[in-house]
């Protein structure tokens, strides 16, 4: 059984040096966190390096976890603190978890604390798929609670940033086709017939600006060439049906079934087949305008139309505009452009690749674009 990985009481056990920061003076309400690359079973990462403004090459660190308070689960790498972000705008660059534990209510807000406790409740990532990911599924809350002893499953959403190579058409696999049953799926899994597995799912070309909601229980795989941002519940629970990756890496069995065995792994899937048209209509999310003014506009990408587990907005600033105070922790990821974030007499330079954490008590932030800015604003579950 696994326990919930994202509580204050557990942070002290993560070997982050928490005890060295007990006397931190918490003043800033807008913090900047550093790049947080995470080892995965698939290759990629060159596009992430380029996005951060440097030369790079593909390797086994294809994900950047933004302002993360969730530890990665990688069998064989348990002694490495992986997945937890550092606050680079503070002296000593402490882990964000160590900063939050000093004043959780200041970060999350009173309402969030009453509803969820001192848990962020969401995780934001950048993913650069240098190869197709294995076919997988994530647990819903009921499965996570009963089988994994976790308060969180792993419902997620993808915002497509584009292709990570000029000569690749990015794509995803999403949802069972009609007629796929547990018995059929088990037979294909037992035979490890990968072409048959892929043929059970819809292959969908994607393009920059599209957003997809992936409910827990729905089978999926990110295709080779995808560069995307993801928001999800704060766990690293993934059930994989391919025992060997497309690049030939044999996966540790616990990374396939998360320690529950293959039979229970197959129970994690929701066997609800739909046509391609029905799948796209159900899971592709259309932007919804929130506000528009001379200096920019805000569009909602994921909201209560899809889920109450998290939400995501796209902010485009061509001149100046104000992001209002929200009374909850949120993450601002600068997708492109450069400029400044100004509040209460202080000012912070922001450029593509920067990740900011706004505490619940953060006042309104004035965004000023030098070069047109696109910012992804991500929110925890609403109390």
Specify the DSSP element, H or E, that contains 346: strand 346-351
- CATH class given for the domain over 288-379: mainly beta
Distance of CA 181 to the CA centre of its chain: 29
Which H helix or E strand runs over 203? strand 201-205
Interior/surface letters 116-132, b for 16+ CB within 10 angstroms, e for the rest: bebbbbbbbbbbbbbbb
Note the pTM of the prediction, 2 decimals: 0.92
pLDDT over 70, % of the chain: 93
264 burial class (0-12, 13-18, 19+ CB within 10 angstroms)?
middle
Question: Count of H helices and E strands in the chain?
Answer: 11, 21
For the cut 60, the answer to whether the pLDDT of residue 48 exceeds it is yes
Which three-class secondary structure state does DSSP give residue 316? strand
Determine the Cα–Cα distance for residues 87 and 357; give it in Å rounded to an integer: 9
Provide the pLDDT for residue 10: 36
CB atoms within 10 A of CB 28: 17
Residues 272-313 have pLDDT tens digits of 999 999 999 999 999 999 999 999 999 999 999 999 999 999
Please state the domain extents for the chain.
8-285, 288-379
Spatial CA neighbour of 374 closest among 355, 356, 352 = 352
Q: 8-285: what CATH class?
A: mainly beta
* 159-197 confidence digits (pLDDT tens): 999 999 889 999 999 999 999 999 999 999 999 999 999
Residue 211: pLDDT above 60? yes
Q: Does the pLDDT value for residue 376 go beyond 50?
A: yes
pLDDT at residue 13, as a whole number = 42
Name the nearest CA neighbour of 330 among 231, 237, 229, 236: 231
Q: Report the C-alpha gap between 215 and 233 in whole angstroms.
A: 11
pLDDT interval class at 60 (50, 70, 90): very high
Give, for 197, the enclosing helix (H) or strand (E). Answer: helix 194-199
Using pLDDT thresholds of 50, 70 and 90, give the confidence band for residue 7. very low
């Amino acid at each position: 059984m696994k326990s919930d990985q994202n509580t204050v009481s557990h942070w002290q056990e993560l070997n982050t040096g928490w005890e060295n920061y007990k006397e931190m003076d918490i003043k800033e309400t807008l913090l900047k966190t550093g790049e947080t690359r995470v080892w995965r079973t698939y290759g990629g990462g060159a596009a992430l390096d380029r996005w951060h403004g440097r030369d790079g090459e593909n390797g086994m660190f294809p994900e950047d976890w933004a302002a993360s308070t969730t530890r990665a689960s990688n069998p064989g790498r348990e002694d490495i603190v992986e997945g937890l972000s550092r606050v680079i705008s503070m002296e000593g660059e402490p882990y964000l978890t160590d900063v939050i534990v000093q004043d959780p209510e200041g970060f999350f807000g009173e309402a969030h604390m009453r509803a969820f406790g001192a848990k962020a409740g969401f995780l934001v990532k950048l993913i650069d798929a240098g190869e197709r990911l294995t076919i997988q599924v994530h647990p819903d809350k009921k499965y996570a609670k009963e089988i994994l002893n976790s308060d969180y499953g792993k419902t997620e959403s993808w915002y497509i940033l584009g292709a990570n190579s000029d000569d690749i058409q990015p794509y995803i696999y999403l949802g069972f086709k009609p007629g796929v049953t547990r018995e059929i799926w088990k037979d294909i899994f037992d035979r490890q017939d990968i072409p048959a597995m892929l043929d059970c799912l819809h292959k969908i070309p994607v393009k920059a600006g599209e957003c997809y909601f992936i409910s827990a229980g729905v089978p999926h795989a990110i295709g080779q060439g995808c560069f995307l941002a993801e928001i999800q519940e704060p766990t690293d629970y993934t059930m994989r049906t391919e025992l060997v990756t497309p690049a030939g890496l044999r996966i540790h069995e616990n990374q396939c079934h998360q320690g529950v065995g293959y039979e229970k792994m197959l129970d994690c899937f929701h066997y609800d087949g739909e046509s391609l048209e029905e799948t796209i209509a159900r899971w592709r999310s259309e932007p919804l305008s929130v506000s528009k003014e001379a200096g920019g506009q805000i569009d909602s990408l994921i909201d209560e139309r899809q889920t109450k587990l998290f939400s995501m907005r796209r902010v485009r600033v061509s001149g100046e505009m104000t992001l209002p105070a929200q009374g909850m922790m949120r993450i601002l990821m600068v997708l492109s452009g450069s400029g400044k974030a100004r509040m209460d007499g202080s000012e912070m330079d922001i450029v593509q690749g920067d990740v900011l954490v706004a505490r619940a008590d953060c006042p309104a932030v004035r965004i000023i674009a030098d070069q047109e800015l696109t910012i992804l604003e991500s929110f925890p579950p609403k109390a």
